[in-house]
Each structure stands twice: as structure tokens, then as C-alpha cells.
């Protein structure tokens, strides 16, 4: 069941004294996100990633289109009842301690005092800030601010979590901890909407990825779908490849190359792939592995953006 629905969202910003200069931050963005998954938005700077989150949270009004969150239409206040948000470059009043940040924003989220008393220590422990709970946030490092920000976003035990660059400024160990937290939240059934520049990180934890470029949606899919290179395979074998094999196989493959004991090939259908394997077996070649080729998410991302530019 989808928990976030966006239909033809567009946003045009007007600038200049007479508001005549237009910036198209988002163009006809539609998406449907199922509950209990990690959905990531990728895109270069200025692609419109933050604008989407801000529209969904009623921080920015769309120029066109509609959106619903958990069945409520944006900008209804109820859409924000069950969500948490960690914005990019967030800031808190400097005189607050980490604990006070959580208490204040918990109260603004309508969380009862008794629940806050129980939840705040748990969250501080979870993000590794228990020791610094009484320190003023003005003294926090960037990484500590990210951690308290994550705890703040979780203070109302949200069903949907919007995170904009959650690991920005966090050291590798901290990043891994945050990833583990996000995976844990996913297993609790929460939906996580993630904006991140760190593609390797997104690749590790995301169920669905959407790629945005200059305000338009380029592609949505699972990491598998985005990184699989069509029907390209790699076959490793033992023994010698008969000279006739290359010519015979050309009837079944689109492209093929042999390097040492590895054959790289692209076939248009599964039947063609099987025919190629049968051919190898007929020649008595022993197959040791068959791998579907994948690109890294980073390569896929760059390729998709290049395609977008060409179009």
C-alpha cells in the first residue's frame, strides 16, 4: 500500500524585483511509494530533491499538482502527524541542550510528556549522544548535530521519515551506525524517504531509487533494476575454448568478447543465453560461473544523467 503519492508536482520559483525571472525547480514529478521501504532520491545539486520533500511537508507550496501522505492531502496538518524530518543544514537554538531539543520538538509533535520521558533517553542512546545529552547544542560538532537531528526526527515515532543528507559531516563509523539505524527502522515497518549524495550508501540500503535531473524524474526503480546492464553476462570456464565456438555463438549473442578464461556476452533473450551455454557444454567446456553483469549505482547514475543531457 502506498503511503506517499505525488501526482504531477511542479514548482516554479519567481525571483527578481518584479518577480519575472522564473526558475523551474520541479517539473511534473509523480511517484507512488509503498510503506516499509527505503526510497532514495538521487540527483545533482539543484535537481529538485529538497523541493520535493519540502512540498510533501508543506514547507513549499507546489505550483501545480497534488500529493497525499498516509491518505491525507498535502497541506493538511494531519499529513505531518506521523512524519519526521531531518533537513539539510538544520539548526537549533544554541541554548538548548541535546535533551531539550528533543523535548521541545517532541512537544511540538504532540507527544505526551510521559512518553517523552521514556523515549528521549532511548533515542539519545540510539544515536550515541547519551553522554552529551546535557551539553548545549551550540558546542556540538557537525556529526553530533546530525545525530541529534536524527533523534529529533524520530521523536514522535513517525511512520514516514524524511531525511535530507542525514550522514553529511558524519565520520565513516557514524555513517555506518546511521545506516544500521535506518535499516532497523525499515524492519520496524517505517518508510524512509532519503535524499543523499552518497551513492554507495544509497546503493547499500535503498529498496527503490528515483533519479532526478533539472527538476524532472529520469528513472525510478530498484537498485537491481537501475544497475543491471540489460542482458549482459560473464561466463568463466575451465579448459580450452574450441576455435569454432566464437563463430557458432555469434548466432545467439549480440556482442561477445573473450579474455583469458572469461567470456563477456550480451544476449537479447534468455533462450539465446541458454543456447550459448549449451554450445559451450557441447564442446565439453566446463562452466565454473555465470554472472549477470551490474554497474555500480554511481555509474548508472552518471550514465542516466548523460542520457538525459543528450535528450
Give the per-residue contact string, 229-248, with another protein (x = CB under 8 A; - = no). Answer: --------------------
Q: How far is the CB of 72 from another protein (least distance, A)?
A: 11
DSSP 60: S
Q: How far is the CB of 208 from another protein (least distance, A)?
A: 22
From the list 69, 47, 57, 304, the residue with the least C-alpha distance to 163 is: 57
Residue 64 touches another protein, criterion: CB under 8 A: no
Beta carbon nearer to another protein, 144 or 211: 144
What are the two backbone dihedrals, phi and then psi, of residue 46, each rounded to the nearest 5 degrees?
Answer: 80, 10
Residue 57 touches another protein, criterion: CB under 8 A: yes
Q: Write the burial class of residue 188 (CB in 10 Å: 0-12 exposed, 13-18 middle, 19+ buried).
A: exposed
Beta carbon nearer to another protein, 133 or 283: 133
Beta carbon nearer to another protein, 1 or 77: 77
Angstrom CA distances, 53 to 48, 179, 250, stand at 9, 20, 49
Interatomic CA distance for residues 97 and 108, integer angstroms: 17
Residue 265: strand, helix, or coil: strand
Give the per-residue contact string, 92-111, with another protein (x = CB under 8 A; - = no). Answer: xx-x--------xx-xxxx-
Q: How far is the CB of 107 from another protein (least distance, A)?
A: 4
- Whether 119 contacts 107, CB under 8 Å: no
Q: Work out whether the CA dihedral 270, 273, 279, 280 comes out positive or negative.
A: negative
Residue 252: strand, helix, or coil: coil
| Positions in 138-197 near another protein (CB under 8 A) | 152, 162
- Whether 128 contacts 155, CB under 8 Å: no
Beta carbon nearer to another protein, 88 or 234: 88
- Whether 87 contacts 252, CB under 8 Å: no
Residue 135 touches another protein, criterion: CB under 8 A: no
Tell whether omega for the bond before 298 is within 30 degrees of 0, i.e. cis.
no
| Positions in 76-95 near another protein (CB under 8 A) | 77-78, 80-81, 83-85, 87-93, 95
Judged by CB under 8 A, the stretch of 59-67, 183-191, 225-233, 243-251 that binds another protein is: 59-67
Name the helix (H) or strand (E) containing 2.
strand 2-15
Q: How far is the CB of 192 from another protein (least distance, A)?
A: 15
| Positions in 4-43 near another protein (CB under 8 A) | 13
Beta carbon nearer to another protein, 82 or 252: 82
Q: How far is the CB of 7 from another protein (least distance, A)?
A: 20
Interatomic CA distance for residues 310 and 274, integer angstroms: 35
Beta carbon nearer to another protein, 59 or 266: 59
Q: Which three cell numbers stand for residue 19?
A: 518577480
Judged by CB under 8 A, the stretch of 40-48, 52-60, 247-255, 303-311 that binds another protein is: 52-60
- Whether 238 contacts 288, CB under 8 Å: yes
Beta carbon nearer to another protein, 88 or 298: 88
Q: Which residues bind another protein (CB under 8 A)?
A: 13, 54, 57-61, 77-78, 80-81, 83-85, 87-93, 95, 104-105, 107-110, 152, 162
Amino acid at each position: 500500500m502506498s503511503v506517499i503519492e505525488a501526482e504531477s508536482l511542479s514548482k516554479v520559483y519567481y525571483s527578481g524585483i518584479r518577480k519575472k525571472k522564473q526558475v523551474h525547480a520541479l517539473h511534473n514529478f509523480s511517484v507512488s511509494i509503498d510503506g516499509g521501504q527505503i526510497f532514495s532520491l538521487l540527483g545533482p545539486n539543484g535537481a529538485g530533491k529538497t523541493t520535493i520533500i519540502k512540498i510533501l511537508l508543506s514547507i513549499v507550496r507546489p505550483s501545480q499538482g497534488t500529493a497525499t501522505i498516509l491518505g491525507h492531502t498535502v497541506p493538511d496538518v494531519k499529513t505531518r502527524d506521523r512524519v519526521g524530518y531531518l533537513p539539510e543544514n538544520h539548526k537549533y537554538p544554541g541554548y538548548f541542550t541535546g535533551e531539550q531539543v528533543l523535548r521541545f520538538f517532541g512537544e511540538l509533535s504532540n507527544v505526551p510528556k510521559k512518553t517523552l520521558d521514556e523515549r528521549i533517553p532511548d533515542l539519545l542512546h540510539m544515536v550515541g549522544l547519551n553522554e552529551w545529552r546535557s551539553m548545549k547544542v551550540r558546542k556540538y560538532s557537525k556529526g553530533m548535530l546530525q545525530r541529534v537531528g536524527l533523534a529529533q526526527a524520530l521523536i514522535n515515532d513517525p511512520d514516514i521519515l524524511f531525511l535530507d543528507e542525514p550522514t553529511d559531516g558524519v565520520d565513516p563509523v557514524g555513517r555506518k551506525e546511521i545506516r544500521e539505524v535506518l535499516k532497523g527502522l525499515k524492519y520496524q515497518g517505517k518508510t524512509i524517504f532519503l535524499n543523499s549524495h552518497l551513492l554507495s550508501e544509497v546503493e547499500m540500503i535503498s529498496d527503490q531509487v528515483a533519479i532526478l535531473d533539472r527538476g524532472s524524474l529520469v528513472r525510478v526503480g530498484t537498485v537491481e533494476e537501475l544497475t543491471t546492464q540489460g542482458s549482459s553476462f560473464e561466463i568463466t570456464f575451465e579448459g580450452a575454448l574450441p576455435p569454432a565456438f566464437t563463430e557458432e555463438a555469434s548466432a545467439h549473442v549480440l556482442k561477445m568478447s573473450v579474455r583469458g578464461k572469461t567470456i563477456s556476452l550480451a544476449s537479447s533473450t534468455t533462450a539465446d543465453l541458454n543456447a550459448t551455454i549449451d554450445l559451450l557444454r557441447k564442446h565439453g567446456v566446463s562452466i565454473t560461473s555465470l554472472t549477470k553483469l551490474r554497474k555500480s549505482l554511481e555509474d548508472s547514475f552518471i550514465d542516466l544523467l548523460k542520457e538525459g543531457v543528450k535528450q
